[in-house]
Structure 1
Amino acid sequence: MALQVILFMTHRGRTQQLVLRLLQARRLFPEDRTGSRTRHQRIAERLGLGYQVSVMVPALLWVLTPALVDAMSAPAANGTAATRGTPLPVWAPFDLQRSPNYELVYAVQAVTNVVMNLTGLFLDVFFVTLMLHLTAELDVLNLNVASLRPSPVAPADSLESRDGDSLAKQASTDAPYTARGDSFRVRTSTSRFHMYRLLVKNIQHHQMIIM
């Protein structure tokens, strides 16, 4: 657990960049009413709750068991007080059975146990949530790529280059059009141009995920 915390703090800069990149991807590449991100967020919430129950319930039982045993145990036959236990066996240079020594040691062990379990729990939940959000981005990207379809082609007469020339003469071909020496190329098919822009957007989304 200490090693896990050390590694997390060592690479916290990269982790922060990844989280910011995911937030940017959610803003720049919205999903098309598929609910993929919401679905993965709900899965992360359920897993986080499951992690908390599976970790904290045994931890609390471990902490409370000595106190419950002491409270329900019968006094010794000779009238002496029974030895009280702590969550973790410990040796102390003072009388551990006297108050407030016993209560202080018990409280320190209980708080330490809960804090250590919560630290490991939060790290695990964080990385699980991060992986689920990455999965959601890949799912959104996959759905966007699978939904690439040619859109209806607009009339060629409505297409114009930047210098105002009509592209109607090139409507029957897919030859590139260059306006007055410009370096860009325009195709007369709005359907292909629309698909090209969507493809570029999906490539940018993929690059943002893997970088």
Structure 2
Amino acid sequence: HLAILVGGLVEIVIDPPPLDVILEGIFTIACSFTWGLRMVSVLVRQSRVQQLVVDVLNMRKQFTENSAVLRKSYHRRALIVCVAWVVFPLLAVPMWFVEPALTKTLVTTSENTTIVIRKTPFVMWMPLDTQTHPNYEITYVIQIVLLVSVVQATVLVDLFFASLMINITADIAILNNNIANMRLHKENGVTKESAEGVKVSGAWEVTYKRKKSLAEKGEQHDENIATTTPYTSDPSAQLYRTLARNIQHHQVIMSIINDLESLMSESSVLMLGVNSVNICLQGLGFVDAFRPGAKRSTVLKKVLTFPAYINQTAHFCWYGQEIIDQSERLLESAFSCGWAEADQRFCSSLRIFMLQASRPLKLQIGKIFTLSRNLFLQILNTSYTIFNMMINF
């Protein structure tokens, strides 16, 4: 990233190329800066990133009630996202390899001789004459290696954040189901369905707290020692414990979203801002296709790069919207549970939960923008405005 950024700036300042080449150089510089900043932010906050991953894994282990089917569904969705995120760059990157080799510029010198200027993948200063053999081939290979490594690293960072967002969405969907299914199920005075789950949950919580207290004292926890927890067959008490567990699940989700928001905030704002310009620049390829004298290889490179930026922007906004949609369902799920048959203690706690759930969970980046469908439409609108300005210019 640093090599592409510095090399591009030096080349534009020392030997200014034509306007269209300068625009392409600015495009690569902006992308390199944005992608580099995202990776640096992840590396600098490595301990927080690791803790966030541990928290997500612990949440998956802790809250397992009625989760298998939904987790499997979201797992399939995550695989589709991975395929899409890899396929779109694969369509564009080969043209970045091939297009410079197919583009040659004829320049007439003051001595009336014609020389051929061969193009490299990037507008990038190199400490050697890149037009001679084998310097041109060496430069070409170096820039291709840089391109592949940068794209791979960027895709991995994107997939990391996307997978966390999908996991959060899955847990909110699971929480919706668990809250909506809270009922008093009686058979001969004993709770029929959720008693076993509550017993296991209670045992897990006591075990977890015991491990934590022993760890703080520096003592070892013996897994073979049986852990007991108070248990009652009173249906109302069991229903209340189920509600308390669901509230704990909601609190964990809120904490994870806050951590993810702090990690994504600054770099994602810059990425989406740059993408709004990049979508416009690559969209010009569709206009160039109808212009006489346009180079087909250059047009094809822009046309194939365009979907990659649309895909990156749309997926982040899409999963941000899914988090909002699922969290907005929490009020409906809470109202759909069996609160009418429950006692006063359950209803009071449920009201407190509904008051908190009335504020939908969301990923706010830069403390200004919320990842949502509306943000995606705003980005497209901005790109279209810039597109019209450049066409008229």
**Same fold per superposition (TM over 0.5):** yes
The letter for the 2-side match of 1:96 is T
Q: Does 1:126 align with 2:145?
A: no
Partner residue, 2:171? 137
The letter for the 1-side match of 2:85 is Y
Identity %: 33
Partner residue, 1:163? none
SS in 1 for 2:186: coil
Q: Does 1:96 align with 2:103?
A: no
For residues 88 and 155 of structure 1, do their structure 2 counterparts lie closer, same or farther at Cα, with a shift above 3 Å needed?
Answer: closer
Which is helix-richer, 1 or 2? 2
Q: Does 1:17 align with 2:51?
A: yes
**Runs of 4+ deviating beyond 6 Å:** none
Q: Which runs of 5+ in 1 are unaligned?
A: 71-79, 157-184
The letter for the 2-side match of 1:49 is V
Cα deviation for residue 82 of structure 1 reads 5.0
Structure 2 Cα separation of the partners of residues 155 and 103 of structure 1: 82
Partner residue, 1:195? 239
The letter for the 2-side match of 1:46 is I
Structure 1 Cα separation of the partners of residues 127 and 252 of structure 2: 59
Conservation of the 8 A alpha-carbon contact between 1:84 and 1:97: yes
Q: Does 1:109 align with 2:136?
A: no
The correspondence of residues 146-165 of structure 1 with structure 2, limited to 5 A, is 146-152=180-186, 154-155=188-189
Cα deviation for residue 90 of structure 1 reads 4.3
Partner residue, 2:253? 209
The correspondence of residues 53-64 of structure 1 with structure 2, limited to 5 A, is 53-64=87-98
Partner residue, 1:181? none
Cα deviation for residue 110 of structure 1 reads 0.3
Structure 1 Cα separation of the partners of residues 231 and 75 of structure 2: 41
For residues 18 and 154 of structure 1, do their structure 2 counterparts lie closer, same or farther at Cα, with a shift above 3 Å needed?
Answer: farther
Across the aligned residues of Structure 1 and Structure 2, the Cα RMSD in angstroms comes to 2.7
> When the two structures are superposed, what TM-score results if normalisation uses the length of structure 2?
0.40
SS in 1 for 2:122: coil
Partner residue, 1:29? 63
Cα deviation for residue 103 of structure 1 reads 1.6
CA offsets per residue over residues 31-86 of structure 1, 9 Å max, x none?
A: 4166111211221221121111112321221122233567xxxxxxxxx9954332
The letter for the 2-side match of 1:88 is F
Which is strand-richer, 1 or 2? 2
Q: Does 1:67 align with 2:111?
A: no
* Bigger Rg over Cα: 1
Conservation of the 8 A alpha-carbon contact between 1:56 and 1:117: no
Conservation of the 8 A alpha-carbon contact between 1:44 and 1:132: yes
Q: Which runs of 5+ in 2 are unaligned?
A: 1-34, 105-113, 191-229, 256-393
Structure 1 Cα separation of the partners of residues 134 and 48 of structure 2: 47
| Number of aligned residues | 174
